[in-house]
């Protein structure tokens, strides 16, 4: 299995072929998004999905980074989430195939200054919610900046 | 006789044309991809190694860091660790480090565990076992059918995810 995965990562052609022959499977398992969501979203969102899909190429250039990720992830220690004081925005979707939702909820409960937004469908790419997510992030950053500049003025 | 002797070259030409079309489509896509990644970024040397970055737009600086890539998916697929032999209860893990920790905890609290990918570990490794709810119920299978190995790899992973989703929904009714 390891050899197979490594072969696919080494070969751009193998990965490209897989993207075309097993598109829905790649969307589900690599992009972490349920394929049935794709059928329900707008043309613009489908175009965004297609861009993300094509952006995986050339996968061979990512190989070293992915192997490094693997090594790093397997050696991570616990984080002191309670020590985080910065305003934190957490967004997750319930049907994210990477299963980030329960962990995001948990983290939001541990970080003092956290704001959690959970959306029901859209997968890892928040398909169908792009405008909403971008607006939320934008507003969060603007709000944080305003608070920070007020604090600086008062000092 | 004459017709059958024509079929072979026609078939060969059609096959060649088909393969050529696939190759050309691939070349087109990969050239675009290579052009995209070869421009617009820079490399900075740090004490921990080189970091590639891209700077886009204007205004107040905002640092965006993306987490782990697909490597952890592969890792998750390759490991499914049995906690309690004979019970059909499995822990779906991405790393040996966590495997030891969770195995030890599983002895104390032999409950089912819900986990879908090692990215969960990546982001929240400090989460204790007992805060996880149910359920992962599918053993890792190395059966290979008539499907290609790649297809089997992905579809079996997908099957596991679906099963986990179903079990999780059952355990956590809205």
Tell me if B115 sits within 8 A of B89, measured CB to CB.
no
Name the minimum distance, in Å, from the CA of B110 to any CA of chain A.
20
User: A99: which chain B residues are within 8 Å (Cβ-Cβ)?
Assistant: 115-117, 119-120, 164
Whole-angstrom distance, CA of residue B105 vs CA of residue B113:
11
Taking CA atoms, B140 is separated from A48, A96, B92, B120, in Å, by: 34, 22, 9, 19
What SS3 class is residue B43?
Answer: strand
Q: Summarize pLDDT for B100-115 with one digit per residue, the tens.
A: 444 443 443 333 333 3
Whole-angstrom distance, CA of residue B153 vs CA of residue A99:
19
In the predicted model, is pLDDT for residue B30 greater than 60? Answer: yes
Q: Summarize pLDDT for B39-79 with one digit per residue, the tens.
A: 766 666 666 566 666 666 655 656 665 555 533 322 222 22
Residue A5 touches chain B, beta carbons under 8 Å: yes
In the predicted model, is pLDDT for residue B29 greater than 50? Answer: yes
The pLDDT of residue A61: 76
The pLDDT of residue A54: 87
Where chain A has pLDDT below 70, the residues are 1-6, 65, 68-78, 145, 148-149, 151-155
B28 confidence band (pLDDT: 50, 70, 90): very high
Contact B124 A69 (CB under 8 A): no
B34's tokens = 């290579």
Helix B71-78 with A59-73: angle, nearest 10 deg? 60
The pLDDT of residue B16: 92
Buried b (16+ CB within 10 A) or exposed e, B94-130: bbebbbebbeebbeeeebbbbbbbbbbbbbbbebebe
The pLDDT of residue A148: 64
The pLDDT of residue B139: 27
- As a whole number of Å, the CA-based R_g of chain B is 24
Of A61, A67, A15, A50, the C-alpha closest to B38 is A61
B34, B68, B142 ranked by CB distance to A58: nearest: B34
Of B112, B119, B84, the C-alpha closest to B98 is B119
Helix A59-73 with A12-21: angle, nearest 10 deg? 90
In the predicted model, is pLDDT for residue B166 greater than 80? Answer: no
Name the minimum distance, in Å, from the CA of B163 to any CA of chain A.
12
Contact B117 A72 (CB under 8 A): no
More confident: A57 or B157: A57
Of A5, A143, A66, A34, the C-alpha closest to B161 is A34
CB atoms within 10 A of CB A93: 28
The pLDDT of residue B102: 42
What ipTM goes with this model? 0.79
The pLDDT of residue B19: 94
The pLDDT of residue B58: 59
Q: Summarize pLDDT for B88-98 with one digit per residue, the tens.
A: 333 333 322 23
* pLDDT, averaged across chain B: 52
Query: Can the peptide bond before residue A86 be classed as cis, meaning omega within 30 degrees of 0?
Result: no
């Amino acid at each position: 299995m390891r050899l197979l995965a490594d072969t696919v990562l080494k070969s751009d052609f193998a990965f490209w072929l897989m993207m075309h022959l097993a598109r829905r499977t790649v969307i589900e398992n690599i992009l972490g998004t349920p394929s049935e969501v794709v059928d329900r979203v707008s043309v613009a969102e489908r175009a965004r999905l297609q861009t993300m899909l094509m952006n995986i190429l050339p996968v061979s250039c990512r190989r070293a980074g992915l192997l490094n990720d693997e090594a790093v992830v397997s050696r991570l220690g616990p984080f002191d989430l309670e020590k985080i004081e910065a305003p934190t925005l957490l967004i997750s979707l319930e049907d994210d195939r990477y299963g980030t939702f329960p962990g995001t909820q948990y983290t939001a409960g541990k970080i003092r200054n956290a704001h959690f937004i959970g959306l029901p469908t859209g997968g890892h790419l928040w398909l169908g919610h792009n405008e909403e997510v971008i607006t939320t992030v934008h507003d969060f950053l603007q709000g944080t900046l305003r608070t920070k500049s007020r604090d600086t003025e008062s000092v | 006789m004459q017709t059958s002797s024509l079929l072979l070259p026609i078939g060969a030409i059609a096959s060649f044309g088909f393969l050529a079309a696939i190759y050309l489509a691939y070349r087109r896509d990969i050239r675009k991809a290579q052009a995209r990644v070869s421009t617009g970024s820079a490399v900075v040397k740090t004490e921990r190694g080189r970091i590639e970055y891209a700077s886009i737009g204007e205004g107040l600086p905002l640092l965006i860091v993306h987490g782990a890539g697909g490597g952890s998916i592969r890792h998750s697929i390759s490991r499914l660790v049995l906690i309690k032999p004979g019970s059909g209860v499995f822990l779906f893990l991405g790393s040996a480090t966590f495997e030891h920790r969770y195995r030890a905890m599983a002895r104390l609290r032999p409950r089912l565990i819900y986990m879908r990918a090692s990215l969960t570990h990546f982001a929240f490794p400090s989460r204790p076992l007992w805060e996880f709810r149910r359920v992962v119920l599918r053993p890792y299978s190395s059966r290979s059918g008539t499907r290609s190995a790649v297809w089997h790899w992905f579809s079996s992973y997908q099957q596991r995810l679906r099963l986990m989703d179903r079990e999780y929904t059952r355990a956590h009714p809205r």
